[in-house]
Amino acid sequence: MSPGWFVALSAVIFCIGVGGVLMRRNPLVVLLCLELMLNGGNLALISFARMHGTGDGQIFALIVMVVAACEVVVGLGLIVAMYRRRLAIDVDSMSELRG
Amino acid sequence: MSAGAYGWLVLASPLAGMILIALGWRVLPGRSAGWLAALAILGSFVASVGALLALQSLPEEERAVTSSAFAYAQTVGVDVDLGILVDPLSVFMVLVVSGVSFLIHVYSIAYMGSDRGYARYFAYLNFFVFSMLLLVLAGNFVLLTVGWAFVGAASYLLISFWYRRDTATRAGIKAFVINVIGDVGLVIATFLLFSGTGALDYAGVFEAAPEAFNRNDGTLVAACLMLLVGAFAKSGQLPLHTWLPDAMEGPTPVSALIHAATMVTAGVYLIARTHPLFELAPAAADVGAIVGTATLFFAATVALVQTDLKRIIAYSTISQIGYMILGVSAFAYGAGLFHLMTHAFFKALLFMAAGSVIGAVGGNQSIERMGGFRFAMPFTHVTFAIGALSLAAFPLTAGFFSKDEILAFTLNRGGTLYPTLAVVGYVGAFMTAFYAFRMVFRVFWGEPVPEALVLERGDMPHGEHANPATGEPEDSDVGFPGPDHHIADRERSMKAPMFLLALLALVGGAVGIPLVSDTLEHFLEPTFAESAFIEQVPSESAEITGLVVGGLVGIAGILLARELYLRRPGSTLAMVARMPRLHRFLERKWYFDELFDVVFVRPAKGFGRIGREGIETGVVQGLMGGTSGIVRAGAHLARTVQSGYLRAYALLLVIGLSAMALYFLIVSA
Amino acid sequence: MLFEQVLFFVAAAGAIAGALGVVMIQNPFYSVLALVGHLVALALLFLLLRAEFLAAAQLVVYAGAVMVLYVFVVAYIGGADEPLSPEGGAIARLGPLFALALLLELTIAVGGSELAALESAPGTAAPGFGSPAQIGALLLSKFLIPFEAASFLLLVAAVGAVVLARRRRGLEEAGAEGATQVAREVREPAEPATVAGASGEAR
């Protein structure tokens, strides 16, 4: 399989993730879709690493995984904090930071 | 000492008095501020006597002494010194002004005795006398304007002396505004004269005038008319007279000084001083004579129906100044100035006596509230009657000789205009005699009012404090009249000046009895030497006819007043009831105030309103508000991006990403 | 070769199915499960690309730890079903459109690009490619700084999570009401002060 296929697949996954972020209201699911986008990026990175034959892309993907983990931790902490304060778990209701 | 030095002393004395009182008013105990001020004016009077003697010691051709303190302005074409001119005319004026002012100062010491603003009053009064003396002694047009403006300012300060009274402050502003119109006229006249002759001092202008201007030259006539505007504003002639009756809001001694003896005579002095110019422009002089005559007639008619005692006397002032203006415009300088002097005597006397009566009724000025005071206040009664006799030109009083001299000269001028004016003058004299004795009989004869009865018992009546014009209650604190009221019969410092003035009102005519003594004429001759009209004196028979006619007219007026007010009391009310419209027309002062309100005041207010609402609110704020509004609208538009919705932000991100990708696709294709 | 291709399509189908499941399933619990499936499919794809260590890491770290976290939180919060019909108005309706547009662009980019290497199959990988040894060697030599930075980031994230979700003393009972009150107030902000408003008041 040429790497082109993998890159195309990663594009599809990324765009599905984008659609999910724009469509869903539950912040948990939004975070999940964010994970999808990150995974799509990971796939592209790894396929390019295979293409070039170096391990740089894999390292990059590893670091992305680390970052994703951190982000999930903080995001989930936020959601738990929201839940604790009896706020609605809904991205549309969190709209007070406006101009 | 030379006449010039005496002249500077005359000026320095009241100035020093004013500065001392103004700076030290806190430390001056009791009534010492008043005595200090009176002393300053006495010094001025003594110095002016000295100037007189010094002047008389000079030969006749040299009796015009100029003395300059320093060069005031010396630039291209303009050469003005701070200089005074001491000649017979100015010495005459200075004597009259300082003499009468001294007597009024002494009168005020007691009259204003219980006022909280005692020291302030005397500082203002000294300032006023200083300004008037400066005006009269000035040797060039610039210093004349300075003195002119100072006098206007001083009159404003004194008219609105009881400054917490609404009516007083409004009257002060009215006087000041109308006086400023006169100031403008004077300044424009100075410009015109300077443009024609290139000089600003009297000697220079009068010498250069015959070469610079032809007879009735346009510029000269314009300049003289502007001088007349100044004179009319200061002297309260038609149509700039409306301030004078309202100026009666000031304390009575102020009315005596300013509106009888000094400030209002400044216009007469001006015309007499600039007589060479008026003789070169007889058209302007005719205008002056016509206006003077119209004024004297108008004021006499209005005085017939007024009910405020001081306003009757104010209108009689306007009327008498009309006589003086007529006199000097008809080139009868001696007669006009003679009447100026006698008028100062009897008018000041009338105001002083009126002040005494007003004090007796507790500050009220309406003659409706007065009556039968002749036994309660005999001294006031006698002095008032003497003043009224002189005003009515009863034979052998001072006023008799001076007024009839003016009318005789006017008749003698010939032509058609001047005799007509003289006839109007005699009609005015009749009305003058009538209303003078209307006052006497209404206030002092007839049934005594309660205050008179209280006085007869020996007590002092106490009225409650209220604004005499509107009746609203006041207190007697700062800015309002003091708690006590003083009458002449009880206060010696009020009696003495009144006594002196009564004497002068009776015998003061001795300096100008026609055919017998021409002391005044002779004295003033050096000033008016080059006048072409100085030789035009009426013949002996004309003089005697004039005196007889004048005397008869005066006596007729007095008899009519006695008829209507003593023999048949209440008959005037019946007359008023038969002619209500005429009465109202006269009582509303020929509707001049209403006319000015419509022609000047309302349009000015309208302009102000347009400026505030139209231009300020509309244009200026619209411009400012418009620009800020545009910015605000733009910001409002930009603000909609920050909606607070996470998904909207995410969408924007995606859109941006797509746009960038599109761009790179296109570029690389 | 054929085996590889079949495996690829299977894994791709699984990945896409999982992705669609995440996006479209109402119940967040099932969304999480769909993502887990997606991650497994992705691990298979990694394996196809000779990235053995990363496939293992994906399964252990991502699908193992991170997803377990998600499951915990969903259980705690109790995911309520939400209607799919987007109530966010036009934004949510437009969203998929733009995602589609992005997909189109990316496809064109990938397909139309002239990266020759993308078309041809890559050669045999060097031995040890994608092995833990290679990854470790790279991490400790060439990518040392990113490695340390990542660990620092992990520390910060851990601290952040603790701070965010800790119980504030006394804040729970009173704070909950206060917080909702504050939230309610802030939700309806007053009209922003304008010059006209202020000057109108002053006048």
Q: What pLDDT digit, counting tens, does each position of A1-28 carry?
A: 788 889 989 999 999 999 999 888 889 9
pLDDT bin (cut points 50, 70, 90) of residue C161 is confident
In a domain, A97, yes or no: no
Predicted local distance difference test score (pLDDT) of residue B213: 76
Q: What is the mean pLDDT of residues C162-171?
A: 72
Task: State the Cα–Cα distance between residues A31 and A52, nearest whole angstrom.
Answer: 32
Q: What percent of chain B has pLDDT over 70?
A: 98
Contact C112 B647 (CB under 8 A): no
Taking CA atoms, C77 is separated from A77, C70, C74, C184, in Å, by 12, 10, 5, 22
Judge whether A21 is closer than 8 Å to chain B, CB to CB.
yes
Most confident of C129-133, C143-147, C163-167: C143-147
Contact C122 A53 (CB under 8 A): yes
Task: State the Cα–Cα distance between residues B194 and B223, nearest whole angstrom.
Answer: 10
| Residue B189 clears pLDDT 90, i.e. is over it | yes
In a domain, A98, yes or no: no
**Pairs from C152-159 (Cβ < 8 Å, separation ≥ 24):** C153/A66, C153/A67, C153/A70, C154/A66, C154/A69, C154/A70, C156/A70, C157/A69, C157/A70, C157/A71, C157/A73, C157/A74, C158/A73
- Please write the tens of the pLDDT for every residue from C62-117: 999 999 999 999 998 876 666 555 555 666 677 788 888 888 888 888 777 666 66
Of B110, B108, B138, B144, which Cα lies nearest the Cα of B126? B108
Task: State the Cα–Cα distance between residues B443 and B66, nearest whole angstrom.
Answer: 49
Q: What is the mean pLDDT of residues B538-558?
A: 83
pTM (2 decimals)?
A: 0.69
Of B301, B521, B484, B293, which Cα lies nearest the Cα of B402? B521
pLDDT bin (cut points 50, 70, 90) of residue A67 is very high
Predicted local distance difference test score (pLDDT) of residue B486: 79
Chain C partners within 8 Å of B655 (Cβ) = 98
| Residue C38 clears pLDDT 80, i.e. is over it | yes
Q: What percent of chain B has pLDDT over 90?
A: 32
Average pLDDT, chain B: 86
Chain C partners within 8 Å of A25 (Cβ) = 82, 86-88
Predicted local distance difference test score (pLDDT) of residue B563: 83
Domain boundaries, chain B: 3-587, 593-668
Predicted local distance difference test score (pLDDT) of residue B232: 93
Of B205, B424, B113, which Cα lies nearest the Cα of B299? B424
- Please write the tens of the pLDDT for every residue from B602-652: 888 998 888 888 888 878 888 888 888 889 999 988 888 888 888 888 888
CA of A45 to nearest chain C CA: how many angstroms apart?
Answer: 10
Give the closest of A35, A77, A86 to C164, CB-based: A77
Of A70, A61, A63, A71, which Cα lies nearest the Cα of A40? A61
Most confident of B225-239, B396-410, B484-498: B225-239
Task: State the Cα–Cα distance between residues B650 and A1, nearest whole angstrom.
Answer: 34
Task: State the Cα–Cα distance between residues B250 and A25, nearest whole angstrom.
Answer: 85
Predicted local distance difference test score (pLDDT) of residue B149: 94
Give the closest of C117, C165, C167 to A51, CB-based: C117
- Please write the tens of the pLDDT for every residue from B75-130: 877 888 888 988 889 999 999 999 999 999 999 998 888 888 888 999 999 999 99
What amino acid occupies position B102?
F
Mutate one of C66, C151, C156, C182 to test the A interface: name it (highest A CB count within 10 A): C66
Predicted local distance difference test score (pLDDT) of residue B462: 72
| Residue A87 clears pLDDT 90, i.e. is over it | no
Enter the tokens of residue B346.
Answer: 């009897």
Flag the least confident range among B202-216, B505-519, C5-19. Answer: B505-519
User: Which phi and psi (to 5°) does residue B365 adopt?
Assistant: -110, 5
Of C66, C8, C47, C6, which Cα lies nearest the Cα of A58? C47
Average pLDDT, chain C: 79
DSSP state of B138: B
Q: What is the mean pLDDT of residues B451-478?
A: 74
Predicted local distance difference test score (pLDDT) of residue B281: 86
Taking CA atoms, C187 is separated from B303, B494, B576, in Å, by 79, 83, 81
Q: What is the ipTM of this complex?
A: 0.92
Q: What is the total count of domains within chain A? A: 1
Range of the domain at A30: 3-92
Chain B partners within 8 Å of C196 (Cβ) = 625, 629
Predicted local distance difference test score (pLDDT) of residue B291: 92
| Residue C172 clears pLDDT 60, i.e. is over it | no
| Residue B285 clears pLDDT 70, i.e. is over it | yes
Task: State the Cα–Cα distance between residues B189 and B631, nearest whole angstrom.
Answer: 55
Helix (H) or strand (E) holding B82, with range, is strand B78-86
3-state percent breakdown (helix, strand, coil) of chain A, nearest 5: 75, 0, 25
DSSP state of B480: S
Predicted local distance difference test score (pLDDT) of residue C145: 94
Looking up residue A62, the CATH number of its domain turns out to be: 1.10.287.3510
CA of A18 to nearest chain C CA: how many angstroms apart?
Answer: 6
Judge whether C190 is closer than 8 Å to chain B, CB to CB.
no
Q: What percent of chain C has pLDDT over 90?
A: 38
Q: Which residue has the tokens 């001072």?
A: B398
Task: State the Cα–Cα distance between residues C23 and A36, nearest whole angstrom.
Answer: 10
Give the closest of A22, A30, A99 to B651, CB-based: A22
B201 vs C167, more confident: B201
pLDDT bin (cut points 50, 70, 90) of residue B581 is confident
Count, residues in chain B: 669
Contact C164 A33 (CB under 8 A): no
